[in-house]
Amino acid sequence: MSLIDWRDWSENALCAAHELDRPILLDIGAVWCHWCHVMDDGIPGDPIHTGTYSNSEVARLISDRFVAIRVDTDRRPDINARYNMGGWPTTVFLTPDGEPIHGETYVAPHRMLGLLTSIADYYRDHKSEIGSAIAQKNVEAAPCDPGTESLALPVDASDHVVAAVFEAYDELYGGFGMQPKFPHVSVLRFALARAVVDRDAAMERVLVTTLKQMASGGMYDRYAGGFFRYSTTRDWSVPHFEKMLEDNAQLSGLCIQSGVLLGDEELIRIGEDVHRWLFSLMYNQDSGCFAGSQDADREFEYYGLPLSERAKLPTPYIDRTIYADWNARMVSSLVTRYRASGDRSFLDLASRAFRYIVDRILPGHYVADSVVGGPANLLGDLYTCINASMDLAGAMNDGAYLMFAGQFGETILDTLVHPSGAFQDVNTSGDAKGLMARPNVDQMQSAEAALALLRLGNALGDERYRRAAERALLAQKQDYQRLGIFGASYARAVRAALMPRIRVVVTGAEDDDRLLEFERVAGLSPVDTICSRAAADDVNEYPADPTGAPQAYVCIGSRCLAPVTSPADLLRTLSEIRPVDAKLHNAPHSQV
């Protein structure tokens, strides 16, 4: 039992801090976070890491002089986005209004004793100075008028990111930087697009080498399957052992998609093996969704053992919370598995998980013990659900999923447009205090949302989504270069914004399985396309092959090319379409 009376982040907790005239101690952690557990309970036998919050003197000081609030980063990503101090655990001291005074990450017991006393004394003796400093800081942080400095998207964004990728790329072991090493899926998606669309052999090497090095080293659980969250070493040999649904949903889909498009069976097998772990340990039969994470604790005591030996031990803690965004990513991964294999059972699984997200979670963020929680209409939930909807709509040829995507898109446009034009993480209207009252833009999330809205606008033929996405990208124009490799999502979104609207219409007998091959290529291509089968009354516009063989028409704007007769030719044709001239990209698609 905890010695500290932890409260949830709430109006009541902030009111208590006001009434008691005490600073707030905010602890941000996660159930999978090893050092969060160390800060709670210590490491047995370690004379330094004896447990900060289990220290009776620490607990007494907190009880006497602070209001203690604990937040789970997965359940409240909006709080984490504003107060995180560079990792987990985050330890941050706030005024009763939620304004930061001081923050760190892990704090050992001996340091915490001094920190608690000095922060409490400083708050007691310098309230007026703290208030003045915060007021000045808020004035400086007020949103600026974005102005109309330039209305042109940076057509060279992709080249800037390519340069950053090769600067960071590790030629010996793959991945980016030295250590610790993270997968950086957004960068790998950028590399795939360059490899397929631009036939960039160097970027293909970056992608394939990184994925295979990760999968062959300690970063991958060779017994149970699944990627660990990151490697502590440059060569991927020593991982940090937590496994996250967010990472594995994305990496499984990326491996399978890359394997199909690049003709690499090994990558397909890696993605399928990730699904093996997800279905064996993380799948919830009742909901059709997947648990959020598996714990890092006990490390080699458990993860270093073969499955037969693991079966004799308790499984490291699995957080059974069902998160909307992570499961939406899993829906997309399952649709990719269906595209690659033709096995419709994966499509059925994806559809079931999506229905649970829509029916039981949204507009909330998660479900735990049948209770919906978290902030409503998070940007991350909405754009991942747009992508999941679009993936299902294309794979199932069912317009109902487009209606869902449209609803998510409308919510973004109605509630999550920042004054700059970019997309903020959550609606900040209401009586929120401190940093929670201020809109927050995560550059990568805003770019990913722009990508999703561009895709939605193309499918629905609705220019509002395209215009909103372009405004968001223009708002980030001055910042993307400083992001380095983390500008990968932005570069992909700029390219998508400059592309014409592309449709693929497939003709042939409805019962001809070869049609699926064309739809598979269109669905997996990095080039955004709307794929459909020709209707009976389309015979004049899209004539069928006289022999009855399947074929595909690629239409760019209002102009359709001669039909292609093989999936390989379809992929090649899609890859040859280039962005329209930047001066024309705002023109109606029928004029391009």
**Residue 58: Cβ-neighbour burial (10 angstroms; 0-12, 13-18, 19+):** buried
**212's tokens:** 């295979």
Q: Give me the residues paired with residue 506 across strands.
A: 533, 552
pLDDT at 143 over 60: no
Q: Examine residue 488 and state whether it is found in any structural domain, yes or no.
A: yes
Residue in the structure block whose two tokens are 């898109």 = 409
**Smallest Cα–Cα separation from 358: which of 397, 388, 395?**
388
Is the confidence at residue 584, as pLDDT, over 60?
A: no
Structure tokens given for 99: 């304004």
Q: Are residues 101 and 207 located together in one domain of the fold?
A: no
Q: Is 147 within the bounds of a domain?
A: no
Tell me: do 245 and 293 sit in the same domain: yes
Pick from 562, 566, 557, 564: which is nearest to 590 by CA? Answer: 557
Give the residue among 551, 550, 554, 538 at the shortest CA–CA distance from 504.
554
Shared domain for 442 and 400, answered yes or no, is: yes
Whole-angstrom distance, CA of residue 186 vs CA of residue 195: 14
pTM of the model: 0.94
Q: State the sign of the Cα–Cα–Cα–Cα dihedral 384, 386, 391, 395.
A: positive
Q: Let me know if residue 97 belongs to a domain.
A: yes
Instruction: Say if residue 494 is in the same domain as residue 535.
Output: no
* Total structural domains within the chain: 3
Cβ atoms of 65 and 76 within 8 Å: the answer is: no
Mean pLDDT, rounded, for 99-120: 97
The reply to whether 493 and 514 lie within a common domain is no
Q: Which domain-ending residue is among 498, 521, 551?
A: 498
pLDDT at 150: 57
Is residue 149 a part of any domain in this protein? no
Q: Identify whether residues 454 and 534 lie together within a single domain.
A: no
How high is the mean pLDDT of the chain? 93
**3-class DSSP assignment, residue 519:** helix
Confidence bin at 592 (pLDDT 50/70/90): very low
- Say which CATH number the domain at 87 has: 3.40.30.10
Q: Domain boundary residue among 498, 514, 537?
A: 498
Query: For residue 178, is it within any domain?
Result: yes
* pLDDT tens digits, one per residue of 509-527: 988 988 999 999 999 999 9
Last residue of a domain, one of 498, 531, 563: 498
Phi, psi values for residue 417, rounded to 5°: -90, 115
Do 38 and 170 reside in the same domain of the chain?
no
Q: Are 324 and 362 in contact (CB under 8 A)?
A: yes
Give the three-class secondary structure for 154: coil
Q: Are residues 352 and 480 in the same domain?
A: yes
Least confident of 37-41, 131-135, 480-484: 131-135
Question: 72 with 211, same domain?
Answer: no
pLDDT digit string, tens, across residues 515-569:
999 999 999 999 999 999 998 778 889 999 999 899 999 999 889 999 999 999 9
The one-letter amino acid at 332: S
Residues present in the chain in total = 592
User: Residue 415 is part of a domain; what is its CATH number?
Assistant: 1.50.10.10
Q: What is the CATH number of the domain that holds 514?
A: 3.40.30
Q: Which residues of 532-558 are buried (b: 16+ CB within 10 A; e: fewer)?
A: ebbeeeeeeebebeeeeebbbbbbbbe
**Strand 502-507 relative to strand 530-533, pairing:** parallel
Gap between the Cα atoms of 181 and 172, Å rounded: 13
| pLDDT score recorded for residue 591 | 31
Residue 232 shares a structural domain with residue 127: no
Q: Are residues 162 and 52 both part of a single domain?
A: no
Range of the domain at 104: 11-140
Residues 371 and 226 in one domain: yes
pLDDT of residue 151: 72
